[in-house]
Chains A and B, each alone.
Chain A
Amino acid sequence: GAVVSQHPSWVICKSGTSVKIECRSLDFQATTMFWYRQFPKQSLMLMATSNEGSKATYEQGVEKDKFLINHASLTLSTLTVTSAHPEDSSFYICSGSGPAGYNEQFFGPGTRLTVL
């Protein structure tokens, strides 16, 4: 299957700082990328959906000014957690979906964010 990478795999930061997480589709063009957040022992919660070159669509309750998403190319999407706080500590997972008719999402390995 197609491969999606994330960088970094884990990050620890101080409260108030911003953190950028990269998501790359390595061997396919991801026309759409998704960002999820997963708290311990809970399911994945969709945060936002982004199409290449367009603004992201955020799920209800997700602050778009806090979680900045950029999908500048068909192989790269970034999630920036601005002014991070301890409650933002979570496991962030991205996924990519190919062109029309492509029914599958390919998930990255996730990024563990810990805000002190």
Chain B
Amino acid sequence: LAKTTQPISMDSYEGQEVNITCSHNNIATNDYITWYQQFPSQGPRFIIQGYKTKVTNEVASLFIPADRKSSTLSLPRVSLSDTAVYYCLVGSPSGGYQKVTFGIGTKLQVIP
């Protein structure tokens, strides 16, 4: 399983764009990159997933360079409610399921 490395914490003011970068140097060919958000005492919530280049949905963008050894989650115009822990996960379907390993995550604190 590919290991991921993220900053432990980040602070941002409300309304700013936040970029969280994740390193995954030993990502495998079949691996996808998935980001989850977790609030205290809640289960993780899916944010976005990608394989290469750029993926955008209604809440975030995910940038993946050609070598796929890193990825960047971009949150536009964060609000106080975006204060949470963000996990970058790398894994692939294998035998019909995906087994991933959670890293320590990035604790994002949005400041008013």
Q: CB within 8 Å of B: which residues of A? A: 1, 4, 6, 31-32, 34, 36, 42-46, 49, 51, 91, 93, 95, 97, 99-110, 112
Chain B: interface residue count, which band? 20 to 34
Give Cα distance in the complex from A41 to B74, angstroms: 24
Of the candidates B32, B49, B87, B97, the one having the most CB atoms from chain A within 10 angstroms of its own CB is B97
Contacts of A51 in B (CB 8 A): 96-97
Contacts of B92 in A (CB 8 A): 103
Contacts of B53 in A (CB 8 A): none
The DSSP consensus for interface residues of chain B is: loop
Minimum distance in angstroms from A42 CB to a CB of chain B: 8
Closest 4 CB pairs of A and B: A32-B97, A107-B43, A100-B96, A44-B102
Give Cα distance in the complex from A34 to B98, angstroms: 10
Q: Inter-chain contact count A-B, CB under 8 Å? A: 68
Give Cα distance in the complex from A102 to B102, angstroms: 19
Residue of A nearest to B51 (CB): A103
Contact with A along B64-103 (1 / 0, CB 8 A): 0000000000000000000000010000110111111111
Contacts of A107 in B (CB 8 A): 36, 43-46
Give Cα distance in the complex from A4 to B43, angstroms: 10
Give Cα distance in the complex from A95 to B34, angstroms: 15
Contacts of B29 in A (CB 8 A): none
Minimum distance in angstroms from A105 CB to a CB of chain B: 6
Query: Can you list 25 pairs linking A and B with CB atoms under 8 Å apart?
Result: A4-B43, A6-B43, A31-B97, A32-B97, A43-B105, A44-B87, A46-B99, A46-B100, A51-B97, A91-B41, A99-B96, A101-B93, A102-B93, A102-B98, A103-B32, A103-B34, A103-B93, A104-B34, A104-B98, A105-B46, A105-B100, A107-B43, A108-B43, A109-B42, A110-B43
Residue of B nearest to A1 (CB): B46
Q: Which of A43, A49, A112 contacts B102 (CB 8 A)?
A: A43
Give Cα distance in the complex from A112 to B43, angstroms: 11
B104 proximal to A (CB < 8 A): yes
Contacts of A108 in B (CB 8 A): 43
Minimum distance in angstroms from A81 CB to a CB of chain B: 18
Minimum distance in angstroms from A21 CB to a CB of chain B: 13
